[in-house]
Amino acid sequence: MLKRIQKSVAFRMQMARFGILYGRSNILGNSFKIAGRKFHLSFPKEEKNIHETEIGKILFEDCYGLRRIRRPSTILDIGANIGLFSVAARHYFPDSTIQAYEPNKEVEPFLKENCKKVSVSYFNTAIGIESGMASLRLRENSLHSVLIPEREGNISVSSFRDAVNRIGGKVDLLKLDCEGGEWEILEDIDSWSKVKFVTMEYHLWAKPGSTLSDLTGQLDRLGFICVTVEPSPNGPFGMLSAKRKEGH
């Protein structure tokens, strides 16, 4: 009971920090206070309930653990959707350079609007181990679309290496939520040497037969130590954060 009360109080406090009064209906109809400015977020109307839930997770519950991270200069948001992580990152780190990547053309207008409001550069492209083309397999909503590499596809893919170089050659904070695309990105050993901290949603279902130990083992080989690991009770996925080991 005590933990439940503490969690509720923390949630309300976070809402207040973003300029939202607890108990107000229609969260997305309110103005959000981000880095000293107030504005409305842009979102697909048909996915209103989905994005209200995402706002609760990303902004109010801080599922990516942004409050625990020390002032990154460069932030890379891979799998941005409508840009909620980038909005939250701007709230905590008003002076950081933030670049966001999202391949879904259907959500690009909303990503563009939200990124413009918080001074984030965005790119309507996917990220993989190599540049190329792909198709997007649309699923139940825009959050769960899966990228399928295809030479004749209509989605451009930029290499992880190019994304790292574009932001200046070093990434203080990398956010990954690309519906299984993380497995391919994790193969680029050289580019990962330029990353200091990663916070991500992982997807074991995207690599049949894989386990959480496979993922944490790969991060260990890349020179990272896990800080938090939170498997989801709803399936083979979850949240994870990791930082570069001393001396790596």
Tell me which residue of 167, 161, 147, 206 sits closest to 89, measured CA to CA.
167
The type of residue at 147 is L
Beta-bridge mates of residue 75: 98, 173
**Per-residue pLDDT reduced to its tens digit, 8-41:** 788 888 888 898 876 655 777 788 999 888 999 9
Tell me which residue of 72, 95, 5 sits closest to 241, measured CA to CA.
72
Helices (H) and strands (E) in the chain, counts: 8, 13
**Domain residue extents for the chain:** 67-244
**Residue 55: per-residue pLDDT:** 94
Q: Which helix (H) or strand (E) holds 136?
A: strand 132-137
DSSP 158-197: EEHHHHHHHTTS-BSEEEE-STTTHHHHTT-HHHHTTB-E
CATH number, span 67-244: 3.40.50.150
pLDDT band at 7 (very low <50, low <70, confident <90, very high): confident
**Residue 30: per-residue pLDDT:** 83
Report the predicted TM-score, pTM, of the whole model to 2 decimal places.
0.93
Mean predicted confidence (pLDDT) in 49-77: 94
Matching residue, tokens 């001396």? 247
Could you tell me what percent of the chain has a pLDDT over 70?
98
